[in-house]
Amino acid sequence: MSIKASILSLGCARNLVDSEVMLGILKKSGCDIVDITDGADIAIINTCSFIEDAKKESIDIILDVIDLKRENKLKKILIAGCLPQRYGKILKDEFKEIDGFIGADGFRNLPRIISALTKNRRVFNIPPAPKFLYDDRSPRIRLTPKHYAYLKISEGCSHKCSFCVIPCVRGRHRSRKMDSVLREAAALIKSGVKEINLIGQDTTLYGMDLYKRLALAELLKKLARVKGVNWIRLLYTHPAHFTDELIKVIRDETAVCKYIDLPIQHISDKILKKMNRGTTRKSILDLLHKIRKSIPGVVIRTSIIVGFPGETDKEFSELVGFIKKEKFERLGAFTYSREEGTAAYKFADQIPEKEKKARWDEIMRVQQDVSRQNNRKLMGKVLDV
């Protein structure tokens, strides 16, 4: 009899791709894929632990699934991804009801792990530093609507931003080979995909490890020539690695969306230095000006962090003024999450949660006005979607 398996995928699009590959591996190994409430033998929870809210969501879902197991609505629970990679030993001791733990790249051993679970063995498979990276040969069952897909071009991160745990959890930056990315893109388009979203922890660093050069612009050019491609959207770029060549490719290639996802995190030189971002106020402003000038009609999405340790009213006011002036078409704001294992965890001048929330509220009010102004400019226009 086939094993019935179910996956709950939490966190970002990068995690979603991992879940899709896990589903493909399960299907290829003979498992039936079912809903978690449909008599699953094994429930896999692919978790996130990037910030405090993500950890809380993961733990809440784990507790809900444990309740299902206690009610005999499923047999085994396997926790995967970032949370066990970061807190595996703690989770193993705290949650006796969990049957297995695998880290950020443990899913490559999924058939063997599933086999062990069915034999009532408790599994703990968490390497100290993830190294695995899927490719076009990896089986995959997509969880997105038919018309779009995420394509992961790299994994891990080699930056040392003082607030971020990703390098510890996901390992160093590693790029997929260009030919593999192109083959997967062609297969996705053949399956009916109209929009390919390129993702990675830092897509702009693509190729540096493999080819000893920034190769994202070259990859975009080649992807734009894949037969049948409609839209290519670029996500998760880093302002420190955004080249003139990349701007030119985004401008000139009709298949590449004039949309740039550019997380800046802050604009104050003092805070950027404490964040160890490798950028300055001037470099960010120069880049934004160059992008706006070079790519007519470009849409820029950014993300910022408020309440970082040492952010005074002066630095926050500088950030608010910058947002009012730059008028980003899309903006996401986060309150600083103090994470163990990061340099910023030990910083002095931590901001109280109440103050962080008040600053977040103000940023969102400012951006609402900006968004309203931007949206009014679209009235009367016809757009392809």
Which pLDDT tens digits describe the chain residue by residue (385 residues)?
589 999 999 999 999 999 999 999 999 999 999 998 888 999 999 999 989 999 999 999 999 999 999 999 999 999 999 999 999 999 999 999 999 999 988 778 899 999 999 999 999 989 888 888 899 999 999 999 999 999 999 999 999 999 999 998 999 999 999 999 999 999 999 999 999 999 999 999 999 999 999 999 999 999 999 999 999 999 999 999 999 999 999 999 999 999 999 999 999 999 999 999 999 999 999 999 999 999 999 999 999 999 999 999 999 999 999 999 999 999 999 999 999 999 999 999 999 999 999 999 999 999 999 999 999 999 999 988 8
Distances (CA, A) of 299 to 111, 295, 331, 364: 43, 9, 11, 19
Instruction: Count the alpha carbons within 13 Å of 248 in the hemisphere toward its beta carbon.
Output: 6
Cα–Cα distance for residue pair 102/55, rounded to 1 Å: 16
- Kindly report the pTM of this predicted structure: 0.94
Per-residue tokens: 89:
């030993």
Cα–Cα distance for residue pair 324/206, rounded to 1 Å: 32
State residue 1's pLDDT score. Answer: 54
Strands across the sheet with 32-33, in order?
32-33, 4-9, 42-47, 76-81, 100-102, 123-125
Please report the DSSP string for 21-47 in residue order.
HHHHHHHHTTPEE--TTTT-SEEEEEE
Amino acid found at 78: L
Distances (CA, A) of 245 to 1, 139, 241, 316: 55, 34, 11, 33
**β-pair type (76-81, 100-102):** parallel
